[in-house]
A and B are shown apart, each in its own frame.
Chain A
Amino acid sequence: MRSEVKNIGLFQPTTLREAVELLNRYGNDAKIIAGGTDLLYLIKNDVQTHIPKLLIDISNLGLSYVNFSNNELRIGATTNLSAIAENEVVKSRFTALAQAASRAASPQLRNMATIAGDMLQEVWCWYLRYNYDCWRNGGTICYGAIGDNRFYHSIFGGRLCYAVHPGDVSTALFAFNARVVVVGPGGERVYSMDEFMPGIVLVDGRVKENILKRNEIVKEVVIPTPPQNTRSAFYKVSDRGSIDFALASVAAVAQLDGSTVTNVNIVLGGVDVKPRRAKAAEDFLRGKGLTEANIKSASEIALQDAKPLTFGTGNAFRVELAKGAVVKTLRMLA
């Protein structure tokens, strides 16, 4: 536990290529920094396996933009959440994304945090954050699975690490079928959100929930523009009205024909190791009207395979909160 940042080096490359080269050269010792809101926290808390000796600053590489053209929205990796939340096109055509970006953290943090940071942020598990030797920190146990798991651990079970992915924007990105453009030494690759965040995986010998390798940088997020008859919404249940992570959140993107749902993506956030598509609920709603009764049923179905933790403090109450979030979100679409 420290307060000041340890002695650390900083590179400020002028091109993305240069950044990738530096990252590749220094491997284990370096991390990129964009907003730094999560990384600096981990460094200050002295979370042993998360402390780089070198920072590679990518905040000035021209990766902050929101570009809309007819068939897609391209958002640069270092675009601040506030820029996304306030963008007129995002607010009108990708409403759930704007709402998610506006509900993340606090206003100041939204001015600093980035869209890639939302996806790549480390889980907010207090065991990890206080340097317990868990799966993510050089150990072989998940303290949350057996200890105090009320807020920050999965209600859908898990393996190895049970901590939830806390990203609000990520939840919306799943609902919009976003794609992630990743740059590495070998060039560019594009992943779907499911491919990018598949759940608990081992990457470079570390337990993570995204597949980004040590020497790769997220460059851009691409969202296909949904059809004109799309409505979307995002709702977050959190302890306080600001700052807190989601106890449960929902992003829903639907195409409506009148009041009938022709297609819908419903994604649950803050309740699983990655944002989770509620496929059964989506199947249920397809072809039906957004009535109160159908909305309620959908919320039950969305959580029917929940497996809340029963050891330690337990977290079953978040199943109920998630149902509530589903209901609130679907109502906003009607």
Chain B
Amino acid sequence: MSAATTTIVSVAAVARPNNTAVAELATQQKAPGLEDAFAARVIRMRVNGKEYSAMVYPRDTLVNVLREQLGLIGTKRPCNRGECGGCTVLVNNVPVLSCTYLAVRADGKEILTVEGRDYDKILKTLQDAWVEADASQCGYCQPGQLMSATALLKRNPTPSIDEIKLAMSGNLCRCGTYMNIIEAIQLASSRLRGGSS
């Protein structure tokens, strides 16, 4: 049969020519600041109570910096598209998706990851509760789950089941540990309020 190439378009991962070389901008004006815009820059942030400084490019996301540069592998990157919640960390106590958070923005911020067990009492209490309530199976999504849970208990120490579900609704778990996660959060909440710790 004829070997005519059709115009069917590829899905992705097509070998396309590399047309985004840095210097080849449509506007050729070498305006001041252009080279700096591509340059790496220093950011300073406090992660789990410890000061860090890192050299980052604009393209670097916070999850990559945490894992590769700071060696904090607790935060995982299951999808890298902001769809699964697995990379959730707290930035100034707010849960964000570190795969979609540019590292340059972390400058001057407080970051909390699962390595912050000794630094954050709520996180530690949740981690203990996680073990007791068997809220983790394969474990890969759980750092993200824990960070969402920590943020929840920080802003709402006594959440209802519906409030728990809402707060955790951006974290996927293929092992399906959600019911145990709810129980773990309830357990931690009661411990923090004055049960045995």
Contacts and interface: CB of A to CB of B under 8 A. Distances in A.
Q: Give yes or no for direct A-B contact (beta carbon below 8 Å).
A: yes
A4 B166 contact: no
Contacts of B96: 108, 111-112
A9 B58 contact: yes
A25 interface: yes
A71 interface: no
B20 A51 contact: yes
Contacts of B170: 105-109, 242-243
A10 to B, nearest CB: 3
A317 interface: no
Interface residues of A, number: 46
A159 interface: no
A40 B101 CA distance: 9
A29 B20 CA distance: 10
A332 interface: no
Contacts of A5: 59-61
A51 B85 CA distance: 24
B166 to A, nearest CB: 7
Contacts of A48: 16
B58 A243 contact: no
Nearest to B105: A59
B169 to A, nearest CB: 4
Given A10-B37, A41-B81, A51-B20, A112 B100 contact: yes
Contacts of A111: 94-96
Given A9-B58, A109-B97, A25 B16 contact: no
Contacts of A109: 82, 97, 170
A131 B12 contact: yes
Contact of B166 (A10, A107, A131, A243): A107
Among A3, A10, A105, A108, the one with the most B-chain Cβ atoms within 10 Å of its Cβ is A108
A108 B59 contact: no
Contact of A46 (B12, B37, B59, B97): B12
A131 B26 contact: no
Interface stretch (B28-36, B133-141, B179-187): B28-36
Contact of B169 (A59, A107, A133, A139): A107
B148 A108 contact: yes
Contact of B26 (A28, A133, A139): A28
A227 interface: no
B29 A7 contact: no
Interface in B26-65: 26-27, 29, 31, 33-34, 37-38, 57-61, 64
B20 A3 contact: no
Contact of B82 (A6, A10, A37, A133): A37
Nearest to B151: A107
Contact of B9 (A25, A36, A133): A133
Given A8-B59, A108-B88, A112-B96, 13 more contacts: A7-B57, A8-B58, A9-B22, A10-B37, A29-B26, A45-B81, A54-B37, A59-B105, A107-B148, A107-B166, A107-B170, A108-B96, A241-B169
Interface of B: 9-14, 16, 20, 22, 25-27, 29, 31, 33-34, 37-38, 57-61, 64, 80-83, 85, 88, 94-97, 100-102, 104-105, 148, 166-170
15 contacts: A9-B37, A27-B26, A27-B27, A28-B26, A36-B101, A41-B81, A54-B37, A105-B170, A107-B168, A108-B88, A112-B101, A131-B10, A133-B9, A139-B9, A242-B169
